[in-house]
Amino acid sequence: MALLAVENLRVTYGAVEAVRNVSFHLDRGQILGIVGESGSGKSTLGYAIAKLLRPPGQIVGGHVWFDGVDLVPLSELELKPIRWRELAVVMQSGMNALNPVAPIRRQFEDAILTHRPMGAKAMRERVREMLALVNIEERYADHYPHELSGGMKQRVAIALALVLEPKLIIFDEPTTALDVVVQRYIVQNLKALRERYHFSALFISHDLGTVLEIADRVAVMYAGRLVEVQDARSLLQHPQHPYTQALLSCFPDPRADHIEVMGIPGSPPDLADVRPGCPFAPRCAQIIDRCWRETPAYLASPDGNGVACHMVKEREGSAYV
């Protein structure tokens, strides 16, 4: 059984449907990258899965199976034992969950005492150990968040997400506000932490380069929908959807440090606008008549990859039927 199976998930903000019938699954120990332009619904998807949407955002359809339990109908009280201990979230740096008025140590202690209490001595050791994991000296435990640099704060946020050893961590643009050197450092650090803790993760980013570096599989989002899911390696070599192809062709070396999802001409549709047809059609180089009339369904192949494109479906010998 997959650790996480999202099924036909739909999220609206009033009249705007920001996540449109999204389905995918995440196996244990895997990192799934979610990539797409700003406004494509990545954060909304991540927050919906963690049941952290704020009004007017609401889930209007679908399921989020986490370890066999559908989180969608659960109340706050029912979610309490799952949050942090089983499923943690690391937000965009600068907006992270650190409490500005408490020293770092207290934030770890509060999490431990609320969810998995232990004695004072063990707790002290645990804080030291968690900070060491992200290469932060213990003396910073008694500092306040504002006394740390952006990169350090983000590493503390990662350590704080890990402290209860959750099965799933959702990272939403964890490195976006940081400079390139710090970004690389954090990504390398995350890879090492994953070796040690075997967590699964959703890694959300608008930077395809970072996603390809860290993720086992990649989900590409466009205008609230998934348009392609593939193994990172095969996505790089054989992108199926014209949007993915365009993203990759913008860059001479796809292994470059940064592949900003901004290089293709035109802009994504307004999500409030519900015209028929493929949402990518106005920017697509491989368009056929049908693309203007019908929104392509997301089709999964037997190996769990998937694509939403009329062209790909009609290609001879396509695995997507």
Ligand X SMILES: Nc1ncnc2c1ncn2[C@@H]1O[C@H](COP(=O)(O)OP(=O)(O)O)[C@@H](O)[C@H]1O
The site for ligand X (CB under 6 A) is made up of 13, 16, 18, 36, 38-44, 56-57, 271
135 is in the binding site of which of ligand X, Mg ion, none (Cβ under 5 to 8 A by kind)?
A: none
Cβ proximity to ligand X, 46 vs 151, nearer residue: 46
Binding test (CB under 5 A) with Mg ion, winner from 21, 30, 40, 43: 43
| Residue 44 found at the interface with Mg ion (CB under 5 A) | no
| Residue 205 found at the interface with Mg ion (CB under 5 A) | no
Cβ proximity to Mg ion, 173 vs 228, nearer residue: 173
Task: Tell how strand 168-172 and strand 16-26 pair up.
Answer: unpaired
267 is in the binding site of which of ligand X, Mg ion, none (Cβ under 5 to 8 A by kind)?
A: none
CB of 56 to ligand X, least distance (A): 6
Q: Which tokens is 154 given?
A: 């983000």
CB of 317 to ligand X, least distance (A): 33
Measure the CA–CA gap between 8 and 5, rounded to whole angstroms.
Answer: 10
| Residue 12 found at the interface with Mg ion (CB under 5 A) | no
271 is in the binding site of which of Mg ion, ligand X, none (Cβ under 5 to 8 A by kind)?
A: ligand X
- Find the Cα–Cα–Cα–Cα dihedral 306, 310, 311, 312, rounded to 10°: 20
200 is in the binding site of which of ligand X, Mg ion, none (Cβ under 5 to 8 A by kind)?
A: none
41 is in the binding site of which of ligand X, Mg ion, none (Cβ under 5 to 8 A by kind)?
A: ligand X
Residues near Mg ion (CB under 5 A) are 43
